[in-house]
Amino acid sequence: MISAYLDSVEKALAFDRSLSRSVRHELEDHLREVVAADPEGAGPDAESRAIAKFGDPRIIAAQFAIVSLSKQTTRTAIAITLVIAGIFTMMKVRIAWYEAMLWTTAEPLTMLSGIFVAIDRYSFWLSVVAGIAIWAQFRRRRRLSAELNASYRRHLYRSFLLCLVATTFIIVSIISDGMLTAFRLYSIDLGATALVPIFSMTIEIACAFVLAVLLLRWQQRMAAAMALSQ
Amino acid sequence: MLKGHLDMIVLAALAAGPAHGYAVIQEIRRKSGEAFDLPEGTIYPVLHRLHEGGLLSARWVVAESGRRRRIYALTKSGQRALQERRAVWQQFSDAVGSLLAGPQRRRPA
């Protein structure tokens, strides 16, 4: 009986595997302890009493889903901040490398390069602005909410939208960086020295991938939490 | 009414020292003179939320039964939060107490 109850909680929290496993262990310890302490002795009756006192698995799962959602929100905001800092560092490393290697962009690509430099610059700084807005939004609501009420939903939607905007600008910036790097590499004879810009671009692309995965997970958790709260 | 004060109640139950969820529930029941008999499952999301908010620390241990058990303890922030909430509650309780004490008769001038 206890196992079936734990299965239902675990299933409802399947969108967050580490949380569902941890909750299962924790609730199992509780329920088994309650059964062992039952004055009428352990058995199916004691198990059903323990479960009845514990509460509706769907309501409990819904409350855990809000915690998971809050965690994912913070995680994504931190990741965006780190990625922005990482991209900035990678850009500076590449520029320093180009200067040290005396690499320039070939003449036919100079104009196109200028356009991508502008796109890169604006999209990067717009992602910084979106990143600042995310933290400003977080500061307005520091305490984690206990329920998915209208005000908390609005906060989550705004945070998600800001993270989506920041990620979009980051991706545009990375694409521009990729184009600029390709122009530079096109203008030189490829050798071991080209590994530095290629490596830095790989890191940027990996960062964009991580952000996309985090946003997708956030969206999944939001949908799951909303469904459980209805 | 209890729902709005659950965080404070859980923090207060952990003031005596680290405990696992079941012990926290027992402590709430004991300290409240059996007045607070909550659905036990509601305490665990609160513990997780307070942990996520940095007010509690948590660690896994293996209990005598051989099962894994999560032990919670107040962090420095948790202790501060409890002190603040105690002070607010005291003010509120004093104010309501004065109001419910009944009207004081004014002496005729």
CA A138 to mean position of chain CA atoms: 15
Q: Which two tokens mark A107?
A: 């003449």
ipTM: 0.81
Write down the pLDDT at residue B107: 66
Per-residue pLDDT of chain A (230 residues; tens, 9 = 90+): 889 999 998 888 888 888 999 999 999 999 999 998 888 877 888 898 999 988 888 888 888 888 888 888 888 889 999 999 998 898 888 889 888 888 777 777 788 888 999 999 999 999 999 999 988 887 776 666 777 788 888 888 888 899 999 999 999 999 999 999 888 888 777 788 889 889 999 999 999 999 999 999 888 888 888 888 77
Q: Hey, are the CB atoms on B45 and A67 less than 8 Å from each other? A: yes
Q: Hey, are the CB atoms on A67 and B40 less than 8 Å from each other? A: no
Q: Hey, are the CB atoms on B67 and A25 less than 8 Å from each other? A: yes
Helices A44-54, A17-36: axis angle to 10 degrees equals: 130
Q: Hey, are the CB atoms on B70 and A34 less than 8 Å from each other? A: no
Give B51's contacts (C-beta < 8 A, 6+ positions apart): B57, B58, B72
Q: Hey, are the CB atoms on A60 and B70 less than 8 Å from each other? A: no
Which DSSP state fits B106? P
Write down the pLDDT at residue A142: 63
Write down the pLDDT at residue B108: 65
Write down the pLDDT at residue A213: 92
Q: pLDDT tens for residues B59-101?
A: 999 988 888 999 999 999 999 999 999 999 999 989 988 888 8
Give A152's contacts (C-beta < 8 A, 6+ positions apart): A66, A141, A145
Q: Which residues of chain B make contact with A149, given a CB cutoff of 8 A?
A: none
Mutate to test the interface with B, among A144, A147, A221 (most CBs of B within 10 A): A144
Q: In what side-by-side order are the strands of the sheet with B56-62?
A: B19-20, B68-74, B56-62
How far is A56 from A14, CA to CA, in rounded Å? 17
| pLDDT over 60 (residue B1) | no
Which DSSP state fits A146? S
Q: Are A123 and A177 in contact, with CB atoms under 8 Å apart? A: no
| pLDDT over 70 (residue B9) | yes
Q: Which of residues 193-222 of A touch B (CB under 8 A)?
A: none
How far is A174 from A182, CA to CA, in rounded Å? 12
State the number of CA atoms in the 13 A half-sphere of B51 facing the CB.
20
Nearest to B39 among A26, A54, A143 (CB): A54
Can you name the residues that pair with B20 across neighbouring β-strands?
A: B71
A52 shares contact with chain B (CB less than 8 Å)? no
What kind and span of H or E run contains B69? strand B68-74
Across chain B, mean pLDDT equals 88
What are the CA-CA distances from residue A1 to residues A25, A44, B21 (Å)? 15, 7, 21
Q: Hey, are the CB atoms on A54 and B40 less than 8 Å from each other? A: yes
Confidence of residue B109 (pLDDT cuts 50, 70, 90): low
Once rounded to an integer, what is the mean pLDDT over residues B5-31? Answer: 92
Q: Which residues of chain B make contact with A52, given a CB cutoff of 8 A?
A: none
| Amino acid occupying residue A63 | Q
Q: How many CB atoms lie within 10 A of CB A113?
A: 18
Q: Are A145 and A59 in contact, with CB atoms under 8 Å apart? A: no
Write down the pLDDT at residue A71: 85
Q: Hey, are the CB atoms on B41 and A59 less than 8 Å from each other? A: yes
Give the burial string for B46-74 (b: 16+ CB within 10 Å, else e): bbbbbbbbebbbbeeeeeeeeeebbbbeb
Give B56's contacts (C-beta < 8 A, 6+ positions apart): B11, B14, B47, B50, B72, B73, B74, B75, B78
